[in-house]
Amino acid sequence: MTATDPSRDTPDGPQPRPAVPTNRPRPAGAPRSVPSRPPGQHAVVDCAVYVDGRRQAPVEPGMALPTAVERGGFVWLGLYEPSQGELESIAARYGLHPLAVEDAVFAHQRPKLEHYDDDLFMVLKTATYVEHDRLTATSEVVDTGEVMVFVGANYVITVRHGKHSDLTDLRRRLEQERELLCLGPAAVLYAVADLVVDTFVEVADAVQDDVDELEASVFSSERTDDIGRLYQLKRELMALRRAVAPLEVPLQKLSERQIDVVPEAMRSYFRDVLDHAIRVRDGVTGLDELLSSILQASLARTQMTDNEDMRKISAWAGIIAVPTAIAGIYGMNFEFMPELEWRYGYPLVLLVILLSCALLYRGFKRNGWL
């Protein structure tokens, strides 16, 4: 998507874009414009200017962009769940497109890459594995969040949604790689994308352990009911799949297309991230298919167990039918019944009952019904 705005092409740097009214309804489940971050925590997590790959002396967020433009560097502004008003104030200063700002506030977007004039807006889904002692039919396994990245010629703005998508450690590690930071704001976009994909690998490995545990449970000698747990894990795995699969197209654009704010030297970095993302996608797809097979096996085993129970019930019903029939015949109280006056008639009937039941039991046992 490309938006044209001639007023931005001025020697003084980025100019505020005119407000663009949007009538799009808030997506279902989208967060409120009021942030859910802890009370008292500011939306700006960190703000720093980088020149020649080195972090400069602290500057006020309001003066960060002019300082970066003046010194020929870029500013990295980190935000955490900003409100609509907070982000619109920053957008006016950096000239961010209103449509991208709206997506960054309401979140709940699918991974994508948007191109506005010379600027980029990228949405990445983040994921983390939720530790649990034992997987149940209601366990939360995968928790997702989002990171939005605005990339311009002299700035990169990261907007985080979710408690697990902290970028503080990433910033510290990246500041140790001066050569990478010298490549500009696109280096930060690469580092964020690489971190997100690496986290997907860790989550997929952790989910693999749950899949292995369920597989062992389904095929164990003990009688278990794992259908609910299998279905829950399949639902949780779908959340990871929705975060990984759509990421392939944006990364492919970054690695193949010529984009002003992405130096040619950065394309090989994005190709590496793309390769990792494809491998994670294939791994998640394989886990999903394996879960489907295990679910089918569990259903088949449940059905087979039910059939075995029915055979056992039928076999015992057949055995019990013999004494029931004999007792019913001799309980009709007719005067001329066989062997009524015989001294050994009663023991003989009992013997016939026992022998008949024993023969039936042996036959059912031999046929596998008992």
Average pLDDT over residues 103-114: 87
Which backbone phi and psi does 51 adopt, to 5 degrees? -130, 125
User: Interhelix angle for 248-256 vs 267-330, to 10°?
Assistant: 160
Pick from 67-81, 200-214, 347-361: least confident: 347-361
Look at residue 18 and tell me whether its pLDDT is greater than 50.
Answer: no
Write the CATH number of the domain with boundaries 307-366. Answer: 1.20.58
Pairing mode, if any, of strands 74-80 and 155-161? parallel
**Pair of tokens at residue 223:** 């009688």
pLDDT, position 335: 65
- Are 150 and 189 a contacting pair, CB within 8 Å? no
| Local structure of 122: helix, strand or coil | strand
Q: Which overall architecture, per CATH, does domain 6-302 show?
A: 2-Layer Sandwich (3.30)
Look at residue 193 and tell me whether its pLDDT is greater than 80.
Answer: yes
Look at residue 260 and tell me whether its pLDDT is greater than 80.
Answer: yes
Q: What angle do CA 78, 81, 86 make, to 5 degrees?
A: 80
Look at residue 23 and tell me whether its pLDDT is greater than 50.
Answer: no
pLDDT band of residue 2 (cuts 50, 70, 90) is very low
pLDDT band of residue 309 (cuts 50, 70, 90) is confident
User: Interhelix angle for 61-71 vs 84-94, to 10°?
Assistant: 20
What residue spans define the domains of the chain? 6-302, 307-366
Q: In what order do the strands lie in the sheet with 74-80?
A: 54-55, 44-51, 74-80, 155-161, 142-151, 119-129, 112-116
| Local structure of 296: helix, strand or coil | helix
Look at residue 368 and tell me whether its pLDDT is greater than 80.
Answer: no
pLDDT, position 220: 79
